[in-house]
Amino acid sequence: MLTRVLFAALLILGAGSGSLAQDTTVVALGLADHPVSEAELEGGATPAAPKLDTGGVAYVLVAHAKKGDKVEVHLNKDGKSLMHNARDLEADEDGLLLQAGKTGVPAGGWPKGSYTAKVTVTRGGESIAEQETDGIPFE
């Protein structure tokens, strides 16, 4: 009986302090040669990297995003954003997949350079998560 009372008290105190709440987390961030699916990423697959003659898509999968958060993903070349996508959340979302890029090859192919995917999650005007992949050339 005492164990149940202590367990219940721990749950009540923990819930009140927010320690049981899950933090917003970047689950997957990368570059692919095609638009990816949430199932593909959750299954642990590593999407094929873009090449000069394929599409180029930056993707991010964010867990436990909260109402009011702004999630942005950028396809960058040499540190400058080529394409981006942003979403302001109107409700909590456990799994948010956001992508930016081209599914086809740009006229003349992709310019030579170092490409990255970058994500920023903002809450209340402050960045709560920011990550960028290592640069890769589209070969």
Establish if 51 belongs to a structural domain: yes
Q: What is the pLDDT of residue 22?
A: 78
Establish if 61 belongs to a structural domain: yes
Number of domains in the chain: 1
Residue 122: C-alpha distances to residues 67, 72, 135 (Å) = 11, 8, 23
Establish if 14 belongs to a structural domain: no
Establish if 2 belongs to a structural domain: no
**Model's pTM, two decimal places?**
0.83
Tokens of 12: 């009540």
Q: What is the pLDDT of residue 91?
A: 96
Q: Which residues of the chain have pLDDT under 70?
A: 1-21
Residue 118's domain comprises: 22-137
> Among residues 22, 5, 33, which one has the least CA distance to residue 94?
22
| Residue 84 · residue 132 · CB < 8 Å | no
What is the CATH number for 54?
Answer: 2.60.40.10
Q: What is the pLDDT of residue 44?
A: 86
